[in-house]
Structure 1
Amino acid sequence: MTGREREIGERFAAARLWAAARAPYLTSALFALQPLVHDTAPPRPSADEHGNVHLDPAATLPVPELGWWLLHHVGHVLRDHHTRARPYEETALRWAQAADAEINDDLARLDAVPADAITPDTLGLPDGLLAERYAELLDLIDVPPGLAPCAPPPFTGPESMTSLERELLARAVAAEIDARGTAPGGWRRWAEAVLRPEVDWRARLARLVRRGLAQASGRVDYSHRRPSRRASAAPSIVLPALVRPLPRVAVLVDTSGSVARTALERALTELDGILRATGHQWVDVTCCDTQAYPAQRVRSAAQVKLAGGGGTDLRPGFEAAAPGADLLVVLTDGNTPWPDRRPRPQVVVCLFGTGPEPPPWAHTVRVTEGSAA
């Protein structure tokens, strides 16, 4: 080890202690970081997904500023920003700015904040949001010039932490934050999500709809629209072929006064995207409060006109919507009488609020409000 490498190692150790003193709930994560000194490192510290902190041997950052960057990079590693970045490969700069903003809203309160650090305030955006939300907002504003995010270097080894070790570390840090109760709001929300994760209702809805469509598409019938390739004993006779028609989807919308229109519109929009992804060009939508209104055949959720607003009894809606459907998606708060018998189609219920559970023959998705972090 050269004298320069020893000096960098000592500054790194001092910076880690500085950081641990200001964020003791992150101590175990700070001491899991491993310094890598090499000439190809960027001027300011950066970290890869395995917890290696890449340091430029020519850089001479003061200990407090280096400590601030260590806290910053611990945030990237623990919040799994490297994995969450995958959908943003074509807009990597936007994602990097958004990820920095998610972390630095808490760090902006510390001393030694670097002048070029990206925070929600420097972007003109509110605190306390997820990087994914910041990325959406960055599409709508003009980002001030000169705000360069920290660019994680490509991983070249060694693998100081495996993915399993990072997950275990994240759980340990989350438990420490939960026990102390003194961490900033962003870290407390992150710890809550790690220790008591909420099921993503959108992902569950997509899985259940695709499963229902797959089960319905297993039904086949004979049709002369596509002649069979099998030869007939009589050449003049055209045999029908087996066909698998696209399953028919119906949507039953609870439009009683107890269900918020914004919640219904949000669920309809989500369902719209799922059905388009499965090849459906239209869907039949039936609104119902205590009576079933005429079905609307629409090509997008925006075309649905919500009718009703009285009491709640979805049984007429089931009678109207179920007979011709292979999959029936019901949007309701659950405060309704249910059919006595299981309907013919597969039934998926999007349940709003804390209403009672539907009958066991229905697959249920509880629709929750999005949370910030």
Structure 2
Amino acid sequence: MTSRAAPGTLNHDKVPGSLDLDKLFAARLHAARVRPYLATALFALHPVESRRVPTMAVDRHWRCYVSPTFVARTPVEELAGVWVHEVSHLLRDHHGRSDRLARERGLTGRGERLRMNIAADCEINDDVYGDGLVRPEGAVEPGALGLDAGELMEDYLLKFGLGPTTQLMAWLDCGSGADGLERDWELGPDGAHGLSEQERDAVRFRVAQGIRCRPGTAPDGWRRWAEEAFHPPQPWRELLGAAVRSAVSGAGAGEDYTYGRPARRSAGMPGVVLPSLRRKPPRVSVVIDTSGSVSDAELGSALLEVAAISRAVGGRRDLVSVLPCDAAAHIVHPLCRGEGIPLIGGGGTDLREGFARALRAQPRPDAIVILTDGQTPWPATRPPCRTVVGLFPRHRAAHAWNEHDPDYEPDTPPAWARVVEIGSAPSSR
């Protein structure tokens, strides 16, 4: 008599039609050999046999649901690629990012979650295969949607909708670990063999450490991920993001009148068509202080803050521009990837030039974010848009110095700016 395994566990006895664990684990071992920097994450995944998933899927608690039929018909080399694909969803926090996108953009329903799954797959699959890892049959790549490689899930999501092109992808289901929507076949937060939040963070840190310690062995996408993983969310980033969201959501920010949808009050005025107020996606201009008093480490931190600002406006990086400025404003850069923005400068500081350059842009920004050490003159009058200042910490006695005026003390940011101190002991006003 064969004993029956408890729900959520694996039965290691050979039963016709059951999950072939030897083959599944051989595939995981192959994946770890060809992608050694992912080994910690691959072996942290707990497999769960499931006949309700089309291939393999993950939940946010690091369980991997596996179809016995899929394992039986798939070569070991392709299964290794699926292992890497599924663990990539979890390492890149696609579930958390999908939840944020759903809240910020009002994306509801399974159709939108399918789009998120497809977009997340495009982010992973554009550079994950090759060099010993076989591309699994049916893996979704950006080219299949007419999209360029090398972008993030949030970018891909803006560039395609469900339709004839995605019809053949309707079967796709990588689980809640890919799109944040919990399935009824998942074990949930109270099920067996899930990892705690602290354990998940520890796995991510060890993988990021492995990538950073072996430069040149990981694709560009993984190296970018590792850099960000080494800079976990900090309290001041939450404050900065909240300040930016407040600035771009206030009355008048990102608003315009349109006759495309007449105002409701037109019904009370026969013969008169009144325009309605329409909210447009907010535009943000980020001015980065590149003067000699700002260190290289702070400039690197500034680029990380730019990524946080992009998330604060719903991930629309096309609406965020970056302007390096010391005593003069330099070239305005659209936000593509933070590490690709050249931060030119090194001279004196006069961020009034940055304000003026940002306000000359067409269309004009709804908010200006200044990332600076504060050693700059400020505009005499309030700009015609909201301003947020991210202030690098300074001990004034040591840094507030000017060779032409030993008694120089820089002005504090003006009262009309929302100020967030960027440092280990954040505060805001």
TM-score by length of 2: 0.50
Q: Tell me, which stretches of 5 or more residues in structure 1 are unaligned?
A: 214-252, 256-265, 275-310, 318-328, 367-373
Find out whether 1:14 has 2:26 as its counterpart.
yes
The residue number in structure 2 matching 1:94 is 115
Q: Take 2:232 and 2:95, find their aligned partners in 1: how far apart are those partners?
A: 20
Equivalent residues in 2 for 1:1-373 (5 A)?
Answer: 1-4=12-15, 8-38=20-50, 40-59=51-70, 60=72, 61-86=74-99, 87=102, 88-90=107-109, 91-109=112-130, 111-139=133-161, 143-148=165-170, 149-152=172-175, 153-154=183-184, 155-156=186-187, 157-181=191-215, 182-197=217-232, 199=237, 203-206=241-244, 209=247, 337-338=377-378, 348-350=387-389, 359=412, 363-364=418-419
Asked if 2 retains the 8 angstrom alpha-carbon contact of 1:348 and 1:365, the reply is no
Alpha-carbon distance, 1:330 to partner:
6.2
Asked if 1 retains the 8 angstrom alpha-carbon contact of 2:61 and 2:196, the reply is yes
Residue by residue, what CA displacement relative to the aligned partner does 1:119-164 show, whole Å, maximum 9, x if unpaired?
Answer: 1122221122111111111249963541243331542132421222
Q: Take 1:128 and 1:254, find their aligned partners in 2: how far apart are those partners?
A: 23
Asked if 2 retains the 8 angstrom alpha-carbon contact of 1:358 and 1:364, the reply is no
| Amino acid aligned to 1:359 | T
Asked if 2 retains the 8 angstrom alpha-carbon contact of 1:204 and 1:365, the reply is no
Seen in structure 2, the aligned counterparts of structure 1 residues 358 and 44 have a Cα distance that, compared at 3 Å, is farther
Alpha-carbon distance, 1:18 to partner:
0.8
Alpha-carbon distance, 1:205 to partner:
2.8
Q: Take 2:195 and 2:240, find their aligned partners in 1: how far apart are those partners?
A: 32
| Amino acid aligned to 2:173 | C
Q: Take 2:286 and 2:126, find their aligned partners in 1: how far apart are those partners?
A: 40
Q: Take 2:135 and 2:368, find their aligned partners in 1: how far apart are those partners?
A: 51
CA radius of gyration, larger in: 1
Alpha-carbon distance, 1:2 to partner:
2.4
Residue by residue, what CA displacement relative to the aligned partner does 1:79-112 show, whole Å, maximum 9, x if unpaired?
Answer: 1212222214431111110011111112233542
Q: Take 1:78 and 1:7, find their aligned partners in 2: how far apart are those partners?
A: 25
Seen in structure 2, the aligned counterparts of structure 1 residues 106 and 333 have a Cα distance that, compared at 3 Å, is closer
Q: Take 2:76 and 2:242, find their aligned partners in 1: how far apart are those partners?
A: 47
SS in 1 for 2:194: coil
Asked if 2 retains the 8 angstrom alpha-carbon contact of 1:12 and 1:35, the reply is no
Seen in structure 2, the aligned counterparts of structure 1 residues 137 and 365 have a Cα distance that, compared at 3 Å, is farther
| Amino acid aligned to 2:144 | T
Seen in structure 2, the aligned counterparts of structure 1 residues 22 and 313 have a Cα distance that, compared at 3 Å, is closer
Q: Take 1:95 and 1:331, find their aligned partners in 2: how far apart are those partners?
A: 29
Asked if 1 retains the 8 angstrom alpha-carbon contact of 2:31 and 2:80, the reply is yes
Alpha-carbon distance, 1:188 to partner:
0.6
SS in 2 for 1:150: coil
Asked if 1 retains the 8 angstrom alpha-carbon contact of 2:119 and 2:156, the reply is yes
Seen in structure 2, the aligned counterparts of structure 1 residues 31 and 142 have a Cα distance that, compared at 3 Å, is same
Alpha-carbon distance, 1:336 to partner:
6.1
SS in 2 for 1:92: helix
Higher mean alpha-carbon deviation, 58-67 vs 28-37, is at 58-67
Alpha-carbon distance, 1:197 to partner:
4.8
Asked if 2 retains the 8 angstrom alpha-carbon contact of 1:177 and 1:183, the reply is yes
Q: How many residues align?
A: 257
Q: Tell me, which stretches of 5 or more residues in structure 2 are unaligned?
A: 1-11, 176-182, 252-284, 288-305, 315-349, 357-366, 392-399, 401-409, 422-429
Q: Take 2:125 and 2:154, find their aligned partners in 1: how far apart are those partners?
A: 15
TM-score by length of 1: 0.57
Q: Take 1:141 and 1:72, find their aligned partners in 2: how far apart are those partners?
A: 24
Q: Take 2:52 and 2:162, find their aligned partners in 1: how far apart are those partners?
A: 33
Q: Take 2:211 and 2:69, find their aligned partners in 1: how far apart are those partners?
A: 36
Asked if 2 retains the 8 angstrom alpha-carbon contact of 1:208 and 1:348, the reply is no
